[in-house]
Amino acid sequence: MTTFDPAAFPPVPHGHQYEDFEIGQVFEHHWGRTFSESDNSFFTTATLAFNPRYTNAELARSEGHPRELVNPMLLLCTVVGLSVEDLSEGGGPFLGVNECAFPTPVYPGDTVTARSTVLDKRESSSRPREGIVTWRTEAHNQRGELVLSYTRTNLSAKREVPPG
Amino acid sequence: MALTGEGTWFEDYPVGRRMRHVRGATVGEFENQMLTKLVMNTAQSHWNEHSMERSPWGKRLVFGLVTGSMVIGLTQQDCCENAIRTLGLDKMRFTAPVFHGDTIYAFSEVVESSPAPDRDDAGIVRFRHWGTKHGLDIKGHRVDGQVVFEGEQIALIRRRPVS
């Protein structure tokens, strides 16, 4: 009879850490995402976001849209989500988002893909086990139109912890 | 009956107006775990309790943008019911951890108001939003009204229709 030894199974690594980032480096993020009607209505109602342009197709049509709009917070959350494995899954708190723009509306049925560039990395004076990394992220729809851009900053865990 | 209320047109948001949004929302498994997975966030600190047992927090953390989305969601009927588009966000900060069971409230202030450059029927309003929580801090102590999120939203809002 053999005993099961989990240590005999090497972990499959995911994510990057502070040392992995170089200023100017570009990440083309995995998967992409087609937004469905249910994604949009589920997210919008779960967050109580009662602008009827996200839930009433006829009202959206009356303002020139082909149908209801995807809630921009769902778009932002999803693009951040798609970027997490490349940028922040290695550990470290989310500090902030600046200069987030939604230049083109997104509708159910649209597909977005995401890409990020490392803008800055620097040491944290108060947290030697982490550095501070800033990325510029852009998302495009299936026609190549920019639908979202923002700058995001995180603490990023170091692989090598400095002595002391 | 109109589809939207009477007090949410561009003219209703003079600079300096402050609003306390009276409905709060408790963040639980549904809001955090489900929405974090819905948006394909692969960071298991939001949905693997075991992975967090030996972390400084000791339990799962609510994804910051779920907190931000709840705060901005709670503002929408009062601030953006007649918003043609949310044009952007800025200065979003996640100032304290949020845990399952915490209840979030939202506050808003109008910081800028200007005519839309390309249309007569709408204007652009910049709101500053705050989110607070009632629940437990990292040590398990009760907190009431701790600020967990701050951020700005820029929205294109319809002017009051001429009747």
Pick from A105, A114, A113, A96: nearest CA to A151? A96
Per-residue pLDDT of chain A (164 residues; tens, 9 = 90+): 689 999 999 999 999 999 999 999 999 999 999 999 999 999 999 999 999 999 999 999 999 999 999 999 999 999 999 999 999 998 778 899 999 999 999 999 999 999 999 999 999 999 999 999 999 999 999 999 999 999 999 999 998 776 65
Band of the pLDDT at B13, cuts 50, 70, 90? Answer: very high
Going along chain A from its start, the domains and CATH numbers come out as: 21-35+70-157 (3.10.129.10)
Task: Look at residue B62 in the predicted model and tell me its pLDDT.
Answer: 97
Q: Does B91 touch chain A (CB under 8 A)?
A: yes
Looking at beta carbons, which residues of chain A come within 8 Å of B91?
Answer: 96, 98
Tell me the shortest Cα–Cα distance from A1 to chain B, in angstroms.
30
Q: Which helix (H) or strand (E) holds A36?
A: none
Higher pLDDT, A91 or B105: B105
CA distance readout (Å), A55 to A37, A110, B5, B74: 9, 16, 16, 16
Global pTM reads 0.97
pLDDT digits (tens, 9 = 90+) for B66-85: 999 999 999 999 999 999 99
Going along chain B from its start, the domains and CATH numbers come out as: 10-158 (3.10.129.10)
Q: Which helix (H) or strand (E) holds B1?
A: none
Residue B60 reports pLDDT greater than 60: yes
pLDDT digits (tens, 9 = 90+) for B82-101: 999 999 999 999 999 999 99
Task: Look at residue A164 in the predicted model and tell me its pLDDT.
Answer: 55
Residue B153 reports pLDDT greater than 80: yes
The answer to whether the CB atoms of B40 and A81 lie below 8 A apart is yes
Q: How far is it, in rounded angstroms, from Cα A9 to Cα B91?
A: 44
The answer to whether the CB atoms of B3 and A56 lie below 8 A apart is yes
Percent pLDDT > 90 in chain B is 96
Tell me the shortest Cα–Cα distance from A82 to chain B, in angstroms.
6
